[in-house]
């Protein structure tokens, strides 16, 4: 895929970069061209195409907007140059948007490098590509080692708006990535690396086997390096776009350091634990039945867990000194004697009244029973 490029060439250098020396050349709208380090879809770029209705060697250097707008687009529709700024070379003979353009609307684009590429005609430039790492995207600047411009295969079309203005737009062809760039992206622009491939694409007959040139570029002179992520903003421009940066690598600690740190933490934790244990041990009473003696405990031996909690029974806690002055144990006989009534007769233990059964009460009992109540109903 190609969506950003560097095109800082002068307009008159582009025909030479496309190796078109000696061919008749005509220029159209080249005054619209503005060199830029960060060209994105919607910008005007010089494109080389074949002269209309000519079977000869004449060529045209014309500024076109990057991002194809098909001729069948409605006149009142707002053009979107991001929809078709790339076209898959494998399917240009199948899709209606591109199939009709292959016979006579082929072109080339020349750039110094790319971050991401275009379509259609041949284009010369360097380009940028983004490496996706999770949620982050790292752009790379891709170019030829010796500084020569890159020439891309492209297709162009014309579209007329409601005001009758004719707009020329183009798209850059892409193919599967080369063996050296597969780690970066699965697609790359079609690079026409020699004069023969450029002439085949630009001047070949409709029956030509364009598949021979629409293939990945495997040259060893294609190099790359990381650049600033600010390339994602179309407004970011200037030499800073192609300055190489150093990627931040995550610091990895050796496993020995991990265990040593853990050992230090555990040792500190054990020391803190022992200190805490000593404090608890010193503050605990000597016996579970004993509590630290205070002046209040000596004066008032009976203490409750919650002073204002009347719902809980009071549990007396006796100190060693107060325990000797109070009767701790009483004989069973004394307790039984206190429990007997004064008359000498033992009262019968009170028991809960037995549940009444059916027809248990006497016949003359005037108190209604539960069954009689239901009987009235």
Task: Report DSSP letters for 40-60, one per residue.
Answer: -TTSEEEEEEEPTT--SS-EE
Highest-scoring range by mean pLDDT, 55-69, 324-338, 354-368: 55-69
Going by C-alpha positions, the residue among 110, 105, 113 that lies closest to residue 202 is 105
Report the distance separating Cα 265 and Cα 21, nearest Å: 75
Percent of the chain with pLDDT over 70: 59
Structural contact between residues 114 and 150, judged by C-beta atoms closer than 8 angstroms: yes
Structural contact between residues 7 and 35, judged by C-beta atoms closer than 8 angstroms: yes
pTM of model > 0.75: no
Contacts made by residues 88-94, CB under 8 angstroms, sequence distance 24+: 88/173, 88/174, 88/175, 88/187, 89/153, 89/173, 89/174, 89/175, 89/190, 89/214, 90/175, 90/214, 92/155, 92/173
Q: Is the pLDDT of residue 285 over 60?
A: no
Mean pLDDT, residues 348-377 taken together: 57
Going by C-alpha positions, the residue among 70, 74, 118 that lies closest to residue 95 is 70
Strand partners, 156: 170
User: Which of 58-72, 87-101, 163-177, 299-313 has the weakest average pLDDT?
Assistant: 299-313
Task: Say whether 183 sits in a helix, a strand or coil.
Answer: coil
Q: Is 2 a catalytic residue?
A: yes
Task: Say whether 266 sits in a helix, a strand or coil.
Answer: helix
Residues 7, 112, 117, 129: which is the catalytic one? 129
Structural contact between residues 34 and 66, judged by C-beta atoms closer than 8 angstroms: no
Which pLDDT score, from 0 to 100, does residue 122 have? Answer: 39
Q: Is 129 a catalytic residue?
A: yes
- Where does the pLDDT of residue 99 fall: very low under 50, low under 70, confident under 90, or very high at 90 and above? very high
Chain segment 42-82, per-residue pLDDT in tens: 999 999 999 986 667 889 999 999 999 999 999 999 999 99
Helices (H), 116-245: 195-203
Task: Say whether 204 sits in a helix, a strand or coil.
Answer: coil
Read off the DSSP letter of residue 143: E
Task: Say whether 130 sits in a helix, a strand or coil.
Answer: strand
Which pLDDT score, from 0 to 100, does residue 248 have? Answer: 79
Question: What token pair was written down for 176?
Answer: 């599967």
Residues 2, 7, 18, 107: which is the catalytic one? 2
Which pLDDT score, from 0 to 100, does residue 183 have? Answer: 87
Report the distance separating Cα 110 and Cα 151, nearest Å: 5
Q: Is the pLDDT of residue 26 over 70?
A: yes
Which pLDDT score, from 0 to 100, does residue 92 have? Answer: 94
Give one word for 67, left, alpha or beta, with left for phi > 0 and alpha for psi -120 to 50. Answer: left
Look up tokens 């737009």; give the residue. Answer: 169
Look up tokens 């960060």; give the residue. Answer: 38
Q: What is the β-pairing status of strands 136-144 and 166-176? A: unpaired
What CA–CA distances, in Å, run from 325 to 162, 291, 299, 314, 355? 116, 18, 13, 20, 50
Which pLDDT score, from 0 to 100, does residue 207 have? Answer: 81
What CA–CA distances, in Å, run from 140 to 144, 184, 208, 220, 231? 13, 9, 34, 17, 10
Q: Is the pLDDT of residue 261 over 70?
A: no
Which pLDDT score, from 0 to 100, does residue 170 have? Answer: 97
Chain segment 165-213, per-residue pLDDT in tens: 999 999 999 999 999 988 888 899 999 999 999 999 999 988 888 989 9
- Which residues contact residue 240 at a Cβ distance below 8 angstroms, ignoring those fewer than 6 apart? 37, 228, 230
């Amino acid at each position: 895929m190609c969506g950003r490029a560097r095109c800082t060439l002068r307009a008159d250098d582009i025909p030479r970069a496309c190796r078109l020396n000696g061919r008749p050349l005509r220029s159209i709208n080249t005054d619209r061209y503005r060199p830029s380090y960060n060209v994105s879809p919607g910008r005007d770029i010089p494109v080389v195409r074949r002269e209309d209705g000519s079977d000869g060697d004449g060529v045209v250097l014309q500024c076109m907007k990057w991002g194809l707008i098909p001729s069948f687009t409605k006149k009142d529709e707002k053009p979107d140059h991001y929809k078709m700024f790339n076209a898959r070379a494998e399917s240009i003979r199948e899709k209606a948007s591109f199939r009709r353009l292959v016979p006579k609307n082929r072109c080339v684009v020349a750039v110094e490098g790319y971050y991401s590429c275009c379509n259609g005609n041949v284009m010369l430039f360097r380009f940028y590509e983004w490496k996706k790492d999770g949620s982050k995207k790292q752009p790379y600047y891709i170019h030829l080692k010796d500084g020569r411009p890159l020439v891309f295969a492209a297709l162009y079309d014309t579209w007329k708006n409601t005001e009758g203005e004719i707009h020329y737009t183009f798209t850059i062809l892409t193919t599967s990535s080369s063996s050296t760039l597969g780690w970066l992206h699965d697609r790359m622009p079609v690079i026409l690396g020699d004069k023969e491939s450029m002439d085949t694409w630009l001047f070949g007959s409709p029956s030509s086997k364009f598949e021979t040139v629409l293939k990945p570029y495997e040259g060893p002179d294609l190099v790359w390096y990381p650049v600033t992520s600010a390339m994602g903003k179309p407004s970011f421009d200037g030499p800073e776009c192609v300055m190489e940066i150093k990627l931040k690598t995550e610091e990895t600690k050796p496993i020995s350091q991990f265990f040593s740190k853990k050992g230090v933490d555990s040792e500190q934790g054990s020391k803190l634990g022992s200190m805490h244990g000593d404090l608890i041990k010193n503050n605990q009473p000597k016996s579970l039945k004993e509590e630290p003696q205070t002046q209040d405990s000596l004066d008032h031996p009976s203490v409750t867990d919650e002073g204002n909690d009347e719902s809980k029974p009071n549990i007396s806690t006796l100190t060693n000194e107060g325990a000797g002055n109070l009767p701790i144990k009483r004989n069973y006989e004394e307790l039984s004697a206190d429990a007997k009534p004064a008359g000498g007769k033992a009262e019968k233990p009170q028991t809960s009244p037995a549940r009444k059964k059916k027809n248990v009460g006497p016949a003359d009992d005037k108190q209604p029973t539960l069954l009689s109540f239901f009987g009235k109903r």
